[in-house]
Amino acid sequence: MIVPELSAEVKAEIDQALKAGNRIIGLAHSQGHLKDRVVPQDAVLLALILIKDVVKEDARDIIAYFKSQDVDVKIISGDYPDTVAAIAKDVGVTGKAIISADIPEDMTELQKVVKETSIFGRVTPPQKRNIIQALQNNGHTTCMVGDGINDILALKQSDCAIAFASGSEATKAVAKFVLLENDFSTLPNVVKEGRKVINNINTVASLHVVRVIYSTILVFAFFLFKILFPLDPVNLTLVGILTIGVPTFLFVFEKNEAKAKDNFFRNIFLNALPCGVILALTIFTLGALAKGEIIIEDVGGKIEYFQHYAQSEYLDMAMKTTITQVVGGVQLFLMFLLCRPLTRFRIGVLLLSLITFVASYFIPPLMALFGLFSIEISWLPLWYDFFSLIIVLIDIVAILIVRFILLITVLKEKPKMVEV
Question: Helical H runs in 20-106?
Answer: 59-68, 81-90
By CB atoms closer than 10 A (0-12, 13-18, 19+), residue 348 is exposed
Instruction: pLDDT tens for the chain, 420 residues: list them.
Output: 677 788 888 888 888 888 888 888 888 888 877 777 777 888 888 899 998 878 888 889 999 999 998 899 999 988 888 888 888 888 889 888 899 889 999 999 999 999 999 999 989 999 999 999 999 999 999 999 998 899 999 999 999 999 999 999 999 999 999 999 988 889 999 888 888 888 888 888 888 899 999 999 999 998 888 877 888 888 888 888 988 999 989 988 888 888 877 777 888 888 899 999 999 999 998 888 766 544 444 445 444 434 444 445 566 777 888 889 999 999 999 999 988 888 899 999 999 999 998 888 888 888 888 887 766 554 455 556 678 889 999 999 999 999 999 888 877 776 664 444
Same domain, 142 and 246: no
Q: How do strand 22-29 and strand 44-52 relate by DSSP bridges?
A: antiparallel
Determine which helix (DSSP H) or strand (DSSP E) holds 96, and give its type and residue range.
strand 96-99
Domain count, the chain: 3
Same domain, 44 and 177: no
Nearest to residue 403, comparing CAs of 311, 276, 288?
276
Determine contact, residues 222/287, Cβ cutoff 8 Å: yes
Same domain, 179 and 225: no
Q: How far apart are CA 154 and CA 161, in angstroms?
A: 8
Query: What integer pLDDT is reported at residue 36 of this predicted model?
Result: 76
1 in a structural domain:
no
346 in a structural domain:
yes
Same domain, 322 and 213: yes
Per the document, the length of the chain is 420
Query: What integer pLDDT is reported at residue 308 of this predicted model?
Result: 42
Same domain, 205 and 337: yes
DSSP 144-190: EEE-SGGGHHHHHHSSEEEEETTS-HHHHHH-SEEETT--GGGHHHH
Domain end (from 162, 185, 208): 185
25 in a structural domain:
yes
Same domain, 118 and 205: no
Neighbouring residues of 172: CB distance < 8 A, sequence distance ≥ 6? 163, 165, 178
124 in a structural domain:
yes
Q: How far apart are CA 53 and CA 381, in angstroms?
A: 83
CATH number, domain containing residue 127:
3.40.50.1000
Same domain, 231 and 317: yes
CA distances from 401 to 233, 339, 397 (A): 31, 19, 6
Same domain, 73 and 92: yes
State the Cα torsion 82-87-91-94 to the nearest 10°.
Answer: 0
Same domain, 359 and 278: yes
Stated pTM of the model: 0.71
Same domain, 255 and 393: yes
Determine contact, residues 103/113, Cβ cutoff 8 Å: yes
Query: What integer pLDDT is reported at residue 382 of this predicted model?
Result: 55
Same domain, 96 and 169: yes
Q: How far apart are CA 159 and CA 154, in angstroms?
A: 10
The partner residues of 178 in beta bridges, in order of sequence, read 163
Same domain, 87 and 124: yes
Query: What integer pLDDT is reported at residue 292 of this predicted model?
Result: 53
Exposure string over 43-63, b if 16+ CB within 10 A, otherwise e: bebeeeeeeeeeeeeebeebb
2 in a structural domain:
no
3 in a structural domain:
no
Query: What integer pLDDT is reported at residue 375 of this predicted model?
Result: 61
* CA-only gyration radius of the chain, Å: 34
Domain hosting residue 63, numbered range = 59-185
